Amino acid sequence: MAADGYAGDIKPTEAWEILEKEPAACLIDVRTDAEWRYVGLPKLDELDKKTHCICWQIFPDNRVNDRFVDEVKAQGIRPDQPLLLLCRSGQRSRHAAIALTAAGYKRCYNVAEGFEGDRDGAGHRGTVGGWKVAGLPWGQG
């Protein structure tokens, strides 16, 4: 579904389908180093791809990474590639998708449920929606 300022929001399973079907598609995880290390990362080994880890916000003060677009370019990611942006819940990745679109990237999608999904009734993540709950490949470390 198209959105203002970027290609739109998609579910984790839709992101996986794009990664499977489109050789140039890439996944950019915009969370922080601590999240990558301690919560886990999407694993794209079976697709012969890697997850690009580029922080949208800098820990611990959560200021926006003013080098974000430059870091995407530095990883060799081209403006014509489909980009799937992922964070914990879909908020930071939405902002990152908007920023990359403004910088000339053509197809920037927000993985709306993120890696961990929404909070459940007890306030915990990882049980309602998200990459992990969808059963998509991931790992820690």
Q: Hey, where are the domains in the chain?
A: 8-80+91-97+106-134
Q: What is the pLDDT of residue 118?
A: 83
Pairing of strands 138-139, 107-111: unpaired
C-alpha triplet 90, 113, 22: angle, nearest 5°: 90
Query: For every one of its 141 residues, what pLDDT tens digit does the chain have, with 9 covering 90 and above?
Result: 567 889 999 999 999 999 999 999 999 999 999 999 999 999 999 999 999 999 999 988 999 999 999 999 999 999 999 999 999 999 999 999 999 999 999 999 999 999 998 888 887 777 778 999 999 999 986
**CA–CA dist 59, 39 (Å, integer):** 15
Contacts of 111 (CB under 8 A, 6+ apart): 9, 10, 11, 12, 15, 84, 85, 86, 90, 93, 131
The position carrying tokens 């060799």 is 76
Check residue 123 and give its pLDDT: 77
Class of domain 8-80+91-97+106-134: alpha beta
